Chains A and B, each alone.
Chain A
């Protein structure tokens, strides 16, 4: 069904970004919190529009922009993620001297990129969305302009990201050569019909997957992740861990799930991705063991989690993948939010040693952070446990048992480094003097909401699962 409603959410977000940037440039106020409130207003309006188009399958621009249920659900997730990131960033911006107007404006632009990526079935539109996301992400990573680490992370992210984009676009050219169209369905049917063009198309699809693998940090394309996560301002890191990863996996799933269904499940691409998933989980959990910086540790944790998500993609199990992404949103932002709570003016505490004794000094913060860590490690009754459980069960049904065994083993290994933080917080005498800025209501609101999300999804996931199944069903 063709309807302007399909364009409305995107228009609202882009308009909001422009308004925020211009307002900031004209008013030049020192306190930027009004920008966060204004952005939140726009996000809520956008969410209302998204809710109203549920089950309507709207499309615009002759079907190039398609708001099916999957796109709507993901858009909703992204809206929540960006709202959370804005709130955990509010105080951080003033404490660490990050320019506020750019932070909110670029986040909104990145959000529009995420929404474009997930609501199209045309490769070139997906590519454009990815670029909108990437270009604003490069700027976001370097937002702490005076800090050398921040600009270094920006240049690393930029070089790796644009290198990956070049692969992606060259792969698209090859796919265009075989299929003469860049609709996902046309490309896949050309694979079925055309056997002599197979090699060209296969290389093309491979290059496209490499392009996405960079963005979602699969091994061996993960080298940039630890440095970027460490150097970028922490709220931005939280966004990187959640947003681009979810969108990248959603797109990968949109491409690959029909591809498996075409009967290519024993093909070369499947085998390569199988190995990549195993390597990603292993590297993510093994190298994470020797990290002393918590932000780097979370980078390896996010690499390991990318491995679990890839298992769901390989199994063609949409519902589990989306459930994993949903849970990961809450626990990822919760964990990074707890890190942000542990900071004061011009100083962030991100070393493992800084956490010694924090559990007794700040009991509430310690308890909340522990829940997020337990969830990341995959302990019941948190959402992290159920997310991994569903992914593994779905994979066993699809005869991926050996991959599941690797997954279980690596999550045991990675549980060690999550638990080590808890041990430091509760069983070590404090060696360094850590005192933090406690007056931060927006941050604690987000931490509380994330905590609620993690527990709700871990104990009563029924309603959310029902909605997710509806969303995943819109794929086929």
Chain B
């Protein structure tokens, strides 16, 4: 109940203050004032245009390597129970990842142009 009053009082206060401002305040505007951000710096452009992303291939490769690491979590949980086998499996898995990295490197995925 008290909470309701708090909301009512502050809500009314907000409405009153805003309408007072609109009634009594001076109404001189100019185009700069009408902009959504009044920080003084001009807009860069009107819309989002396509721009070249040279690092897109790096982004794809990051996406893959980033996700592959997820398998380390379940592996860490069962590591104690199946120690030798788990180590071998993870070594094999860990060998494939650098192979992929070397492949991407040699194919020129990290060249900047």
| A–B contact (CB under 8 angstroms) | yes
Residues on A lying within 8 angstroms of B by beta carbon are: 18, 21-22, 25-26
- Nearest A-chain residue to B89, judged by Cβ: A61
Q: List 12 A-B contacts (CB under 8 A).
A: A18-B96, A18-B99, A21-B103, A22-B99, A22-B102, A22-B103, A22-B106, A25-B102, A25-B103, A25-B106, A25-B107, A26-B106
The main secondary structure of chain A at its interface with chain B is: helix
Chain B residues within an 8 Å CB radius of A21: 103
Measured as residues with beta carbon below 8 angstroms from the partner, the interface class of chain B is under 10
- Nearest B-chain residue to A11, judged by Cβ: B92
Q: How far is the CB of A166 from chain B (nearest CB, A)?
A: 17
Chain B residues within an 8 Å CB radius of A22: 99, 102-103, 106
- Nearest A-chain residue to B102, judged by Cβ: A22
Q: How far is the CB of A154 from chain B (nearest CB, A)?
A: 15
Chain A residues within an 8 Å CB radius of B107: 25
Chain B residues within an 8 Å CB radius of A18: 96, 99
Chain A residues within an 8 Å CB radius of B102: 22, 25
CA distance A25 to B99 in the complex (A): 11
Number of A-B contacts (CB under 8 A): 12
Chain B residues within an 8 Å CB radius of A26: 106
CA distance A298 to B107 in the complex (A): 35
Q: Annotate B84-113 by CB proximity to A: 1 below 8 A, 0 otherwise.
A: 000000000000100100110011000000
Q: Annotate B53-77 by CB proximity to A: 1 below 8 A, 0 otherwise.
A: 0000000000000000000000000
Residues on B lying within 8 angstroms of A by beta carbon are: 96, 99, 102-103, 106-107
CA distance A258 to B110 in the complex (A): 51
A22-B99, A25-B106 given; 10 more Cβ-contact pairs under 8 Å: A18-B96, A18-B99, A21-B103, A22-B102, A22-B103, A22-B106, A25-B102, A25-B103, A25-B107, A26-B106
CA distance A18 to B93 in the complex (A): 13
CA distance A21 to B99 in the complex (A): 9
- Nearest B-chain residue to A26, judged by Cβ: B106
- Nearest B-chain residue to A61, judged by Cβ: B89
Chain A residues within an 8 Å CB radius of B103: 21-22, 25
Q: How far is the CB of A184 from chain B (nearest CB, A)?
A: 23
- Nearest A-chain residue to B106, judged by Cβ: A25
Q: How far is the CB of A407 from chain B (nearest CB, A)?
A: 45
- Nearest B-chain residue to A99, judged by Cβ: B107
CA distance A388 to B99 in the complex (A): 46
Q: How far is the CB of B90 from chain A (nearest CB, A)?
A: 15
CA distance A26 to B107 in the complex (A): 9
CA distance A21 to B96 in the complex (A): 12
CA distance A25 to B107 in the complex (A): 6
- Nearest B-chain residue to A19, judged by Cβ: B99
Q: How far is the CB of B64 from chain A (nearest CB, A)?
A: 11
Q: How far is the CB of A245 from chain B (nearest CB, A)?
A: 28
Q: How far is the CB of B93 from chain A (nearest CB, A)?
A: 12
Q: How far is the CB of B88 from chain A (nearest CB, A)?
A: 12
The 3 A-B pairs at the shortest CB distance, nearest first, are namely: A25-B106, A25-B103, A25-B107
Q: How far is the CB of B35 from chain A (nearest CB, A)?
A: 41
Chain A residues within an 8 Å CB radius of B99: 18, 22
CA distance A18 to B99 in the complex (A): 8
Chain A residues within an 8 Å CB radius of B96: 18
Q: How far is the CB of A265 from chain B (nearest CB, A)?
A: 40
CA distance A25 to B102 in the complex (A): 9
CA distance A384 to B34 in the complex (A): 77
